[in-house]
Every structure is written in C-alpha cells, then in structure tokens.
Structure 1
Amino acid sequence: MFRLLVSLAAASCILVEVTAAHADDIKRVSANGTELSYVEVGQGEPVIFVHGGLQDYRMWLAHLPKFAERYRAIAYSRRNHFPNEASPEGTPDGAADAHGEDLAAFVRALGLSKVRVVAHSSGAHTALFFAAAHPEMVVSLTLNEPPATGILAGIPGAADMLKEWGNGMAPAREAFKAGDVKAGIPLFVNAVAGPGGYERRSDADKKMNLDNAASHQADATTKRPRPVFTCDMAKAIVAPTLLSNGERSPKFFHLIVDQLEVCLPNRERIVIAKSSHTVPAEAPDAYDQAVLTFLSKH
C-alpha cells in the first residue's frame, strides 16, 4: 500500500509539472530558419513526440506523465502549427520532407545527437523522412498510421484505393481551399476517423483542430509537390520500429502499414482494439502501454 501511495504521489507531481509546462513553460528554439515551440518533462533518454494534422504539442500532454517517469519526454509543434507562427500561405501539413528536416534541426538545437521518436499520422510521415535522411540520429521509431502513400506504388489494388481515398477527402479539401475551415475540419476528421469522429472529440481537441487549420489550408492550395516516401527509403531505416493501426481505421491506413511492415527491416506491428485513426487519443492507456513496452525492449 505504501508503495502504491508513493507511486500515486509521484504521478500527481508529474501531472502538475506537465500542466505547469502547458500553462507557463512553453519553450522555444530556433531550428531550420523558424521558431518551434515545445514542452518537456522528466529526465533521462530523450523521446520526441510528433503530432499529426490539425494538432500541435497539446496532443501529447495527457501522455507525457507516463513517459516522464523514465524518459525526458519532449513534445513540439511542427512548423506552421500553433503556437508557432502560422499562415495559410505557409508550409503545408503534408510537406513531410520539410518537416523531417525541421525535426533534425530541432534535435540538434536541443543539443541532442540521438533520439527516440513517437509520432502520429502526418507526424509519423515526418518521422519516416527524418529517419531515412538521418539514420544516425534515430534510436527507435514508433509510428501510428503515417499517410505515406508513395509506398503503395505498384501494389495491386492500391490505385483504386487511393482514388477512393482522394474522393472521400475532396469535400474537406475544397472547404479548406475556399477558406471555410469550420466546415473543412469536421469533413477532414470524419474522413480519417469515420462517421461521427469529429463529434466524439472533446471541446479542447476541437479548439486545437481550429487553431491548426492554417496548415491544412496550405495543403489545399499549395503547388508544392507532395513528397514521396518509397520502399527503398524504408529499407534504409535500420532502427527498431513499432508500427500501429487502429482496429477500426480506414483500410487505406492498414494497407500503408502493410507495406511498411514489408519494407522496414527491423519492425514490430500492433493493432489497438476499439480505436480508429487517432489511436493515441482514442485508446490512450493501451497505446501508451504498448509504446512503453516497446521502448523498454529497444
């Protein structure tokens, strides 16, 4: 009983620390010609958390206490995401190659040489480009459903699935292109998470989505070619990698992870029950336990 009380007290202190960081201790660092905001808690080996689309560092705040007991847990906001400078004319959310170079610069700016990365969705796509370009900087990767469509080239049936996926995303893209973010956000979320996905989100998550609409407006209007992550690039990533899917996620994401599982030389894969695309938010306890178990082995 005494040990349990001590553990609960320690967890409470860590949670207070995270809340304080959220309110008062957002740090900023110059990296790759821009300023990136981040929070960090805990001590030990560094773990960098990379958020997905329509999100920012706040996506990870509820997760950080569990990791801070053992690691230096660092969650940052990618370029053109809150509270960094943001604009519809800025860097698109889908510019994973550019965000990957930002991640490398961010790691260096913190004075680090090798890190573990835990990443979701477009943040996981970012992490793939980062790891392929800078394998010497990666201890391990944890990737939840990256939209790495380039890896589907030549896969039977993939072209039809990509077309279907594009058609499903078109209403959201058109809304963002027209500047109607209040319509575009629910359309996007329900496309990736299934019907009712947006309605199930908390008010705080909905506000975070609205705060990060600029990068999706940039996605809808950019003339920048979408970066292509290939199987050959994946084969160059030798770091241990944990791939995850939500049980209820669109088949599109499962097919991408199928191919990553084929191409990555050192990988494990899990499927988290009763969750869709945004696994860390929909099944946080199961997700965090799976990631912590993976980190402890590698």
Structure 2
Amino acid sequence: MELPKNILKGRKLQTLVENQTTYTVRNAAMHVFETHQQAEQVLLQFDQPVLASMFQGKKVMHLREHQPFNFLPGESLILPSNELMCIDFPEAEMDNPTRCLAMAISEEKVREVIMIMNETLPKADEREWCFMDYNFHFTNDPGIYQIIQRLLFLFSENHPSKDLFVDFTLRELIVRILQADSRKIYNEKSLQLSSSNRLAYVIEYIRQNLNKTISVEDLSQKACMSESNFHRVFKNELGVSPVEFINNERIKLAASLLQDPRKKVKEVYMECGFESRSYFNRMFKRKKKVSPKAYQTMFGQQ
C-alpha cells in the first residue's frame, strides 16, 4: 500500500513520534502518522470507531485482552471507539519511518450502513448485522486494499464534492469489513456454530469434503434453502460466492500439502478435489502468485 505523493509532500514534520497529518470530511477523519525514531508505549485513542492500516515498517500493538502482536504493512485493524492503544515502534528510523493510517468513522455512519445491510443483505436464520465490539486484525483483501487507496486520494483531493465521494466509498468499506469479519468468524468457529447456524453447517461440510465433488445445489439442500436464495445469502454474508469459497478452501489445503516435498502435484490437486491440473494450476497461481511447483520448491529450499 502506498501513500499518494501529495500527502507526502504536504505533511509538516513537527514531531519524530507519530507525526500527524489530518484530513476531515462530514462523517470521517483520516489521520496519517509517521514515526521517525524508535519508541515504546506510545498511547493513542479515538472517540469514534477506527480503521487502522499499515503502510510501512512495523508496530507492536498492546490492546486490552490481547497478547502483544506485530502490525505489518498490508494489514488493518478495526478498533471500537475509545479503545486505548499502546504502541511500540521497534524499527523506525529517520530515513525509514513507520507509516500508518487511522481513519475515524462516525458511529452514526456505521449504524446507517448496518441498517441498510439488514434491509438489503440479510443473513441466514434471521440474524442481524452488527458492528464488532472487539479488535479485528486482518490482512487486506484486494477489495479493501483498493478502497483504502481510493479514500487516501479522495481525502487529500481538493474537490467541491469530496464529502459525497467519501460518503459513498465509506459505505462500501464498511460493508466489506463486516463481510470480512463474518468470514473470519466462520473460518475460526464453523464447527462450534454448525449445530445452530445453517451457513456454519454448510461451511463445515465443505471443509470436511474438499476431496469430493461439491455442488451449489447439494449445499443449498443441506442449508434447507432454494439454490438462488442460498447463493444470495451466502454471498451477502461472506462477500464471496459459494464456488469462490470452495476454491479458496481447496487452495488453502493445497498450499499446506505442498509444503511436503515428497508430495506430487498430481496427488495434491486430486486430494483437494480439483478435476484437472490446468484448472488447479490456474486457480493456485491466481491466489498465491506462483505455480504449485514453484510454491513447493520455495518451501523445499527453506
């Protein structure tokens, strides 16, 4: 992730630790922070929900009820309002600063988007969308990455319709973050939820049967939904289609299996339920940016 040149040129260096450049619109404020020297236990707090994203360097985050963890480029963190952050900067230097973004979004805007989602993107089993009240740490997916880059441009642009542009883009960002949070919950807790949640039951079934043929028709029957309704609810809640989810799970399994240098690529793609090597190669390279064989070789050299 990169900062636009106009932000880098327009900043004023007033302090070496968490030097702040701020842009504000009607429902949000974007703060760009730079730290140019090593520091420990720097405190930071916002009175609104915050999306924090790393651009450069490393932070060590100390948050309530969490073990300290590294916060790295390409990652984001959702913080509730009034969350006190205690931050270490172990690698910051004058010519290699640590850079990050903190975007504070009004709770009113978040509630507005959640209301729209509950009306237009219903979850399964009549559950409702709600804003997470804990710290959600994740790697940016391509959609969230592109939105953050767009918001960086919009906040720093001198345009008479800036408030309107940002408002539309914030809506999409909130939707994608809530869907990413939903995916994380299903990834971590599908087994525990499977007895009372239809989508969790289906997701657990997918994971237990990746080596078999899995059709959306079969999955919709297991969820006791029509095929069209199942597809719509699944994509609403997880942000990906059932087929995309199945392929993602198969690629995760394949990546794990390929770490064994004794495994043949043919064995791997068959164990993961892919019907042809060419399709497996194409999907694997799309997700991992290298071929299955190259990925296996990388692990063999470690």
TM-score when normalising by structure 1:
0.27
Instruction: Return the structure number with greater relative CO, CA threshold 8 A, min gap 6.
Output: 1
TM-score when normalising by structure 2:
0.27
